[in-house]
Amino acid sequence: MPVIVITGASSGIGEALALRLAAPGTTLHLVARRRERLEALEERLRAKGAPPRLHVADVRDPDALEKVAQTVLDEGPPPDLLIANAGIRGEGDGNGREAMEEILGTNVLGVLNTVLPFLPAMRAARKGQIAVVGSLAGYRGLPEAGAYCASKAALMAWTDSLRLSLAPDGIALSLVNPGFVTTEMTRRNPYPMPFVISADEAAARILRGIERKAPRIEFPGPMVMMVRLLAILPPSLSDRLLRLAKREGH
């Protein structure tokens, strides 16, 4: 009976993943801050024959996530799949101190708070998979989004390193780098979102990558090529291209 833990499960990609993974015999542990959204999702999952365990917790709180992990492990074996999905885009000045503290606290430390408590048990069992949801924005600093891009770049480096450490223990680690996905968070974006896809389509692509145990799961293809190109161009040229794109977007 597979055991799956998902953070940020009350909306967006996390919700879509929960709905796709729900099946009789699957134990879903769903973590999010908003109880009412979790309870609404619970009803939909019960209808699919997979009543979930709900954990109301903020990933920024390491003690709360330690308690979640202990609850999961007290019930049975460590997760077969742990998806660290919770993340924020932030508001206001995306390059300021407040944004850095808020976004890094959730997008980076929140991932560590999610993953680290499970690692001893997963290593002892010598099995399991971890998926960390990052973003294609981690490849290059984008206008007015320094904190967000920095948080996702940090996840790229950290997961690359951790993946190598976990491989001898039989644990697979995937970094998920989506492009634009229609979610509660992105609906507020004041700029065009090329190649945008639905949360359900994103979830489908993520799960296909997890099934392959892909080190990186990145989509959609055209956006992947664009950000990788921006990352390798000389900064003077990539800066000009981004300034031009920003002007055209306005």
Residue 53 identity (one-letter amino acid):
R
Q: Pick the closest to residue 128 from 140, 120, 136 (CA basis).
A: 120
Residue 222 has a pLDDT of: 94
148 is catalytic: yes
CATH architecture for the domain at 3-249: 3-Layer(aba) Sandwich (3.40)
Give the Cα separation of 140 and 94 in Å (integer). 14
Give the Cα separation of 119 and 147 in Å (integer). 27
Residue 188 has a pLDDT of: 61
Residue 89 has a pLDDT of: 87
Domain ranges of the chain: 3-249
How open is the CA angle 179-185-188, to the nearest 5 degrees? 100
Strand order in the sheet with 172-178: 53-56, 27-32, 3-7, 81-84, 129-133, 172-178, 216-219
> With contact defined as beta carbons under 8 Å apart, do 155 and 170 qualify?
no
List the catalytic residue out of 16, 133, 139, 148: 148
Give the Cα separation of 3 and 78 in Å (integer). 7
Number of Cα atoms under 13 Å in the Cβ half of residue 228: 9
The model carries a pTM of 0.93
Per-residue pLDDT of the chain (250 residues; tens, 9 = 90+): 899 999 999 999 999 999 999 999 999 999 999 999 999 999 999 999 999 999 999 999 999 999 999 999 999 999 999 999 999 987 767 889 999 999 999 999 999 999 999 999 999 999 999 999 999 999 999 988 999 999 999 999 999 999 999 999 999 999 999 999 987 665 565 556 678 899 999 999 999 999 999 999 999 999 999 999 999 999 999 999 988 877 665 4
